[in-house]
């Protein structure tokens, strides 16, 4: 067993972690960046208005465009996808145990654990890497309040089967759609399944706002609660009616999103060809 540098010869089972696989970083890809001139024009508008955050005009326009693209009534833009999951989980009133896929990014389970909810891991379908409905059924207990499914790698989860299970057992159904913006399931855009879905617009995603996310839903109550929770519970300029956090998207992030929306179809076409 090798020793870690600077430990005086103390053996370490983690010494292999310091050995690089490549001489230089091997990047999977680079962020998609739209027309710089378009982005600059949005930023100029932002500076002229001196409205940088707090539900500014660019954020409102961005929310309208995302809702339209996802085919839903409501889009609540947030600072990142994980914040969106945190808020959506609270807005749905989840507690006890929530079933999640055993194969997903850590944020899916962390968002539950941080709120005192036990993530219960169900198996995935080896062909799709998404939740196996039969494994979900087997994982349901009297403490189960919901299912948090993931559209992994942009491949839609079995939405109809999961909704059927949720309805049969009186469970809430929420989707982590971090990978699935602009994706469709049997011709229906991802965004309107379950009670809500959560997008990530991190720089590593094919559509990005530098850093950002969105909760999308057709449920008026979920949308109202999400808007309150992302802004300290403010219902108006000086009326705080509930506890909340600070998960607002900035206008410069919305500017990046509006810019990239103009080229998203071209990016999708390029990805399909490659």
The region, left, alpha or beta by phi > 0 then psi within -120 to 50, assigned to residue 93 is: left
Strand ranges inside the chain, DSSP E: 74-78, 97-101, 118-122, 144-150, 172-176, 184-185, 188-189, 196-200, 213-217
How many Å apart are CA 143 and CA 128, to the nearest integer?
28
Q: Which two three-digit tokens encode residue 231?
A: 């802004």
177-199 b/e with 16+ CB inside 10 Å = b? bbbbbbbebeeebbbbbbbbbbb
How many Å apart are CA 75 and CA 66, to the nearest integer?
7
Alpha-carbon distances, residue 80 vs 52, 96, 214, 248 (angstroms): 17, 25, 7, 9
The single residue of 60, 73, 205, 248 carrying the catalytic annotation is 205
How many Å apart are CA 191 and CA 90, to the nearest integer?
18
To the query of whether residue 205 is one of the catalytic residues in this protein, the response is yes
Query: How many Cβ atoms are within 10 Å of 134's Cβ, its own excluded?
Result: 13
Active site residues: 205
């Amino acid at each position: 067993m090798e020793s870690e540098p600077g430990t005086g010869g103390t053996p370490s089972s983690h010494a292999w972690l310091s050995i690089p696989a490549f001489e230089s970083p091997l990047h999977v890809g680079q962020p998609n960046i739209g027309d710089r001139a378009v982005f600059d024009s949005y930023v100029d508008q932002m500076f002229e208005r001196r409205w940088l955050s707090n539900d500014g005009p660019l954020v409102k326009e961005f929310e309208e465009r995302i809702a339209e693209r996802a085919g839903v009534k409501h889009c609540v833009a947030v600072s990142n996808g994980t914040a969106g999951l945190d808020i959506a989980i609270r807005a749905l009133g989840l507690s006890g145990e929530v079933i999640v896929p055993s194969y997903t990014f850590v944020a899916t389970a962390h968002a539950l654990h941080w709120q005192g909810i036990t993530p219960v891991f169900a198996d995935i379908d080896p062909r799709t890497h998404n939740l196996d409905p039969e494994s979900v059924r087997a994982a349901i207990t009297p403490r189960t309040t919901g299912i948090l499914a993931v559209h992994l790698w942009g491949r839609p989860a079995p939405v109809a089967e999961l909704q059927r299970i949720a309805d049969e057992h009186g469970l809430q159904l929420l989707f982590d759609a971090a990978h699935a913006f602009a994706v469709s399931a049997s011709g229906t855009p991802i965004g309107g399944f379950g009670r809500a879905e959560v997008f990530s617009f991190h720089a590593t995603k094919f559509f990005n706002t530098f850093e950002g996310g969105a909760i999308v839903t057709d449920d008026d109550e979920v949308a109202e609660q999400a808007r309150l929770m992302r802004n300290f519970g403010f219902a108006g300029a000086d009326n705080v009616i509930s506890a909340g956090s600070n998960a607002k998207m900035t206008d410069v992030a919305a500017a990046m999103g509006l810019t990239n929306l103009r080229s998203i179809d071209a990016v999708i076409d390029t990805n399909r060809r490659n």
